[in-house]
Structure 1
Amino acid sequence: MADWLAALDRRADLRAKAGLTRRLQPRPAADGMTDLAGNDYLGLATHPEVTAAATAALSAYGLGATGSRLVRGSTDAHEALETELAQWLGTDRALVFSSGYLANLGALRALVQPRTLLVSDAHNHASLIDGCRISGAETVVTPHADVDAVAAALAAAPGRPAVVVTESVFSVDGDLAPLTRLHAVARRHGALLLVDDAHALGVTGPAGAGGVAAAELAGEPDVVVTATLSKALGGAGGVVAGPAEFVRHLVETGRTFIFDTALPPAVAAGVHAALRLTRVGDDLRVELADRVALAVGRLRSAGLTVSAPDAAVISVTAPGPDAATAWAADCRDQGVAVGCFRPPSTPDSRSRLRLTVSAGVPRAAFERALEVIVDCAPVSARSEPGLRAPQSRTAVTQ
């Protein structure tokens, strides 16, 4: 009867030996950490206008939506948010889900018809990977950002409906997909393009409208945009935006929309307030870009291997999973929270620290955090000698 539990213990032991143990690290409301691990890129999660809007909606509606969107869960807060999201993204309509993960699952399933081919980038987020799997469609995984490979996959399936699936800014290394070229290839073969704009929304594009808008693809009839509302907008939830006919199809058939309790109205109202601030937040985006450049320059000057980010995600290579865990833990002990990514959360064999830059962190604290990261780096992660090797600890991972 307990054999299955013993099997789980054995699997946990194997993960521990590979340096892949994960543990929850609860934090208090104010823990004093300099946060380079969260996704609050513009510092709006605690903005007074955002929290005031959420508080007012909480008082008016209560804690939750109390039902799915098609029963009692749709409120005027949801409708107002969707209307402005569609305007911002330049699409016919937008539909809000309770999470970005469910938005991706629902969008991919809704795009699949008999014989559909999905062409998915090798570095796509887990929600896109799972969406491809759950859809039941044949999926071809192409090398990262390889437009020629995408073209070859589409050319090998003439006459079949197809969807090219990509992120705009990739969540691990922070690089930008070649969206203009991908769209041209997809259109040439009669395929659709689905773009997860999660890490670009609020950070890039005109008025922060994201990577699709930056590539001048907003509103194209063969482009579907998905995103989470939990990063630059500082809240929670997800969105699918595109042609009105597709959003109608989602409302009528999308299982992750129909059978899920709606996003709480207080969150929808808070996100809406953050959206309005984001649209006029060019000064925040300028500050964010300046900090990204500062971080990349400082870390590279210390001999660390750093990605060339196109938004606010910075990847710093670690020698291995144990070293990444210890490095992140040492930073935490110095009051700096950083992300720690290890296989299988990474799309390759590399472990890394992932830094997410925020304009909301005080400038002095941000600059000090960069020094902490450099000081805590394991000897084998950089070319300069003399760094101490951190003790093995457990850090927050994804």
Structure 2
Amino acid sequence: MIWDELEQELERLQRDGLQRRQRTLEGPCGPLAKIDGRTLVSFCSNDYLGLSTHPALVEAACAGARAWGVGSGASHLVSGHLTPHAELERKLADFIGFPRALLFSTGYMANLGIVPALLGRADAVFADRLNHASLIDAVRLARADHQRYPHCDLAELERLLANSQARRKLILTDAVFSMDGDLAPLPGLLALAERYDAWLVVDDAHGFGVLGRNGRGSLAHFALPAARRLLYMGTLGKAAGAAGAFVAGDERVIAWLMQRARTYIFTTAASPLLAVALSASLDLIADGDARREHLWRLTAQLRDGLAGTRWRLLPSTTAIQPVIIGDNQTAVMLADALYERGLWVPAIRPPTVPAGTARLRISLSAAHSSEQVGLLVDSLRELPCA
């Protein structure tokens, strides 16, 4: 019976240390999380600048609701594209430095829309092996030839590109890898895209708002221009503190996505109050150097505090600081031990990360204090490694 099979699979996940848990927060997103009546310091959130509860965003959302209501009522191409959406698209394009931007409901939906709109069965995608699940699923939907190169390996990527006879080619990568915290070699990727006449699609979910001048993202971090063959996807539910995503690129490419990206065409537009709040968020991001500097100080404090200990941090220079454990059950045990000490650090296991690389994923925010990071460092130093 199918129910027996489901029960057996759930038991297997539990046995292998792979079963996921859902915890319900009894308060808003922030450095302190209240769960089951307990208050914990949370190192789980992607709210990198601490903007999700910023008074300016809350007030902008309230003003947006009063002026525009709560729902958009339809998809963008029917009657759901309201003035706040149009204004936010223009503001995002200007901020990133591209001719045009297009809003999506989530980053996952944006990625699922981009790749199938540009490629088909006769084409090929060249994807970093550690790409996010949304990018992997996007290639599956496109039904293109999916060639994966070792993580950040430009030499192997060039070999694959040179040997490909595909009609169209597309290089697909995260900018900041969500489980490792390192950066893709974007200048080298763009050079290969130019050399082999390929698209370059960059998912900057974890770089937008955090990296680069004024938080303009990973392209700005590397001082890369808004090249015509480059498509940039940024999410708005992480450093921007709200929800949604956008794709920025050449005018003609964005016009094509509007006509062919199914996840844009066939879904209701996001609430206009979010667009109003996100417009305010962009102002805070642009003026957020002090927040970003505090975030980098916290990152240095964590890394310096764990240097020379038994804990193996990956070489990340971003707000994502993974501690490699290896064994699934051990990672869960350590996360539970930190939880008992009032520290919420998630254990990340396969299939999110490769087998044998289970880890504690520490996410830092500008909303954290030095004292809170110090408490985490001290607790990790006191815990046994296994």
TM-score normalised by the chain length of structure 2? 0.94
Correspondence 1:163-242 to 2 at 5 A: 163-242=170-249
The alpha carbon displacement at 1:113 in A equals: 4.2
What SS is found at the alignment partner of 1:379?
Answer: coil
Q: Is the Cα contact below 8 Å between 2:46 and 2:365 reproduced in 1?
A: yes
CA distance in 2, matches of 1:194, 1:219: 12
Deviation larger for 240-249 or 327-336: 327-336
Residue 138 (str. 1) matches residue 136 (str. 2): no
2:385: which partner in 1? 379
1:288 to 285, 292, 295: 295
1:16: which partner in 2? 14
What SS is found at the alignment partner of 2:72?
Answer: coil
1:340-395 per-residue CA deviation (whole Å, 9 max, x = no partner) reads 210111145310011111011233223223323333x4433xxxxxxxxxxxxxxx
CA distance in 1, matches of 2:379, 2:76: 46
CA distance in 1, matches of 2:147, 2:201: 15
1:126 to 124, 130, 133: 133
Aligned length: 377
Unaligned runs of 5+ in 1: 381-398
Amino acid at match of 1:34: V
What SS is found at the alignment partner of 1:200?
Answer: coil
Amino acid at match of 1:70: L
Residue 25 (str. 1) matches residue 23 (str. 2): yes
Q: Is the Cα contact below 8 Å between 1:109 and 1:135 reproduced in 2?
A: yes
CA distance in 2, matches of 1:275, 1:113: 35
1:367 to 358, 371, 374: 374
1:246-298 per-residue CA deviation (whole Å, 9 max, x = no partner) reads 11111112110011111111222222211111011111111111111111111
CA distance in 2, matches of 1:263, 1:366: 35
Residue 90 (str. 1) matches residue 90 (str. 2): no
1:279: which partner in 2? 286
CA distance in 2, matches of 1:374, 1:132: 42
CA distance in 2, matches of 1:258, 1:25: 33
Q: Is the Cα contact below 8 Å between 1:195 and 1:212 reproduced in 2?
A: no
Deviation larger for 37-46 or 329-338: 329-338
1:384: which partner in 2? none
Residue 249 (str. 1) matches residue 247 (str. 2): no
CA distance in 2, matches of 1:18, 1:348: 11
CA distance in 1, matches of 2:381, 2:72: 45
The alpha carbon displacement at 1:103 in A equals: 0.5
Amino acid at match of 1:281: G
TM-score normalised by the chain length of structure 1? 0.91
CA distance in 1, matches of 2:45, 2:67: 29
CA distance in 1, matches of 2:298, 2:273: 31
What SS is found at the alignment partner of 1:203?
Answer: coil
Q: Is the Cα contact below 8 Å between 1:89 and 1:218 reproduced in 2?
A: no
CA RMSD of aligned residues (A): 1.5
CA distance in 1, matches of 2:122, 2:222: 29
The alpha carbon displacement at 1:94 in A equals: 0.8
Q: Structure 1 stretches (4+) deviating beyond 6 angstroms?
A: none
What SS is found at the alignment partner of 1:108?
Answer: helix
1:109: which partner in 2? 116
CA distance in 2, matches of 1:268, 1:8: 41
1:264: which partner in 2? 271
The alignment-based identity, stated in percent, is 35
Amino acid at match of 2:295: L
Q: Is the Cα contact below 8 Å between 1:61 and 1:266 reproduced in 2?
A: yes
C-alpha spacing 1:51/1:12, structure 2 compared with 1 (3 Å): same
CA distance in 2, matches of 1:223, 1:187: 10
Amino acid at match of 2:231: V
Unaligned runs of 5+ in 2: 29-33
CA distance in 2, matches of 1:202, 1:370: 26
CA distance in 2, matches of 1:74, 1:154: 39
CA distance in 1, matches of 2:194, 2:225: 15
1:176-215 per-residue CA deviation (whole Å, 9 max, x = no partner) reads 1111011111211111111101111111111111111222
What SS is found at the alignment partner of 1:213?
Answer: helix
CA distance in 2, matches of 1:272, 1:34: 29
Q: Is the Cα contact below 8 Å between 2:126 and 2:149 reproduced in 1?
A: yes
